[in-house]
Amino acid sequence: MREVNQTCSLRNLGVLEASPNKEFGIGENRHVNVFATTSGSNESARNLCICGEERALREHYSSRLVTKTEKLRDLEDSLKFLGKLAATAVRHGIPVDLDLPLGTAWMRLCEEDGNMLDILTEIDLLASRRFLQCTEDVCEEKHYITHFLMKQQQMLNHFAEGISSVLPVEVFSLFTGFELKDYFCGNDEVDVELLQKVVEYEGYSDGDVIIRYFWETLREMTTDERKLFLQFVWARSRMPLRERDFDSPFKIQKDTKSSSSEALPTASTCFFTLSLPEYDSKEKLREKLLFAIKHVKTMESDYVTNDAEVGEGWQGF
C-alpha cells in the first residue's frame, strides 16, 4: 500500500476530493473522485474510514470544526460552474477527464437504481465490508454511510443544475450510467487502433518504414505514456469513443525542415498534427518521441521554438 498523504490536500480547487479507495490505495477503483462537501477539508471521504467515538465526535461538533456558510455556498457555486463547463465541453465534442463514481454520480443523473453494496464498494472498499457486518436495522455504520451518500446527492444536485443550463438533463434517463459517463468522458484509454483509423499522412504513406516504427512504438508505450502523447499532439487527455466523433483527422506530416538526427518531433495541437522527422531506426524514433512528450509543453502558445532550436533537439535545452 502506498504512503498516505496525511495532509489530504484537495484537487481541482476543492470541488472534488479523492475517494477513500483512491486516497488509501485500496480496492479496484483507485481513480475515482467524489464531490467535496465542505471547502478546504477532506472530511466527507475520510469520515467513512473512521470508526467509533472519533467519528461521532467529528459529526457532533462538525459545526465547530467547519465553517458551513460562505465556504459551502462557494462550493455549491463551483459545482454549478463545473457542471456548465463539462456540459459545454460535451456540446463541442470534447471528452472531459471527470472521474466521478458511476453509482453516486452518473447513474443518479440517469435516475438509474443501483445496488447499495456496489455503490459503496466503488468509493470505499473497507466501508462496504463494515456495511455487510451490520446485522441490526439501526446500525451506526449504516447511519454514517447514509449520511455521506445524502451529502453526495446534495452536491450532485448543484452539479446537475449547472449541466441543465447547457444540456437538457430530462433526456438523461434515456441513457444508462455507463452510457452517460462515456458520453461525457469518452475513452480513458488511448485506443491506438481507433487513432490509426482517423489518421492522414502528409509527405509519408502508410507503407513507409518510419510510419510502421511509429505505430509499433505507440502500441509499446505504457498507458500513461500514450496519454502524454495525446496531450502532446492534441492537448486532450481523452479520446472520443467512435471514429465519427472525431471533429478532425489525426495528421502525421513529414518534417522537411530538420535534417539533424537529433531533431525532436513537434506538434500543432490546434490542428491535431504531429510533425515527424524521418529517423533511421525505431530506437531513435522512440527515444526522441518519448523525450518530446515528457518535456515539451502541449500548447503552442506555452512553448515556442524556432527552426534552429528544433534542429538542435534536446541538446538545445
Catalytic positions: 270
Grid cell 452518473 — which residue? 106
Distance CA 34, CA 99 (A): 8
As given in the structure block, the three cell numbers for residue 178 are: 455507463
Contacting residues for 301 by C-beta, under 8 A, at least 6 apart: none
CA 60 to each of CA 56, 130, 138, 147, 183: distance values in angstroms, whole numbers, following the listed order: 6, 21, 18, 13, 40
CA 90 to each of CA 8, 68, 183, 187, 229: distance values in angstroms, whole numbers, following the listed order: 31, 32, 8, 13, 22
**Pairing of β 33-35 and β 199-202:** unpaired
